[in-house]
Chain A
Amino acid sequence: MVHWTAEEKQHITSLWSKVNVADCGAEALARLLIVYPWTQRFFSSFGNLSSATAVIGNPQVRAHGKKVLTSFGEAVKNLDSIKATFAHLSELHCDKLHVDPENFRLLGDILIIVLASHFAKEFTPECQAAWQKLVGAVAHALARKYH
């Protein structure tokens, strides 16, 4: 189980309370598809992803980004039971979606950069550390049921 200090929990929950999940999720997913274009392999049904502009303006990217980050929010609400929270999603990503777990790490790192850009000085090194730990824990939980 991941151990969180009180300070880490505070960094996570207080920042999360200020996050616009729809916007942040859309931006994170768009950046994933732009910065690491091979990740587009999972989204052939999303239509036009042919340029950065197309990706950013794509309504399916927006919607899915919101969905993904909303789900991520469950980790924030259940910091002491992240593995259990994502057990079912882990099976889904393995058995149905066939997503290489490396992609969870890529998205996690992208999310950090999006948060940094939004929160600037508030995103202190200690805050970044807590969040990198969180995205790592989520990535680990999502990979846990792979077989």
Chain B
Amino acid sequence: MVLSAADKTNVKGIFSKIGGHGEEYGAETLDRMFTVYPQTKTYFPHFDVHHGSAQIKAHGKKVVAALVEAVNHIDDIAGALSKLSDLHAQKLRVDPVNFKLLGQCFLVVVGIHHPSALTPEVHASLDKFLCAVATVLTAKYR
């Protein structure tokens, strides 16, 4: 899956709208993921996963910051997320299927906060981008 020039423009555009809401949207994404896909909580036995927990806020902020990093280096996502890729392969080992679940929840959050910005074209580009990030994060698994 290759990101076209239009995809990159669309992704940068939607992320500029997300702007300073990274922590808020990150927390909401995780909150939804834990609620909608309870099996994802198995990766966070050490967390307080209740709505609005400080740990969810902190972790949500981290997740969106990583996505922003990928956007800022959209021509070399593998390079930008190389350390995170190592972490996921060696330590976290989150089953690849879960990245889709996180991606779905992130799209829902973007759709809720920026419905008119999430046009079908932007939706397609963002979905592709999230797939590309997931591919990078699972690339060194085996």
Contact = CB atoms under 8 A, between A and B. Distances in A.
A112 B127 contact: no
Contact of A113 (B36, B113, B121, B123): B123
B23 interface: no
Interface residues of B, number: 22
Interface string A70-102: 000000000000000000000000000000000
B49 to A, nearest CB: 12
Contacts, number: 58
Nearest to B113: A120
The secondary structure that dominates the A interface is helix
Contacts of B107: 113, 116
Contacts of A52: 119-121, 124
A66 interface: no
Interface in A111-145: 112-114, 116-118, 120-121, 123, 125-126, 128-129, 132
A34 B108 contact: no
B120 A35 contact: yes
B29 to A, nearest CB: 10
A119 to B, nearest CB: 8
B32 A125 contact: yes
Contacts of B104: 109, 112-113
30 contacts: A30-B120, A34-B121, A34-B123, A34-B124, A35-B120, A35-B123, A52-B119, A52-B120, A52-B121, A52-B124, A55-B120, A56-B120, A113-B104, A113-B107, A116-B112, A117-B112, A117-B118, A120-B112, A120-B113, A120-B115, A125-B31, A125-B32, A125-B35, A125-B36, A126-B35, A128-B32, A128-B35, A128-B36, A128-B108, A132-B36
Interface of A: 30-31, 34-35, 52, 55-56, 109, 112-114, 116-118, 120-121, 123, 125-126, 128-129, 132
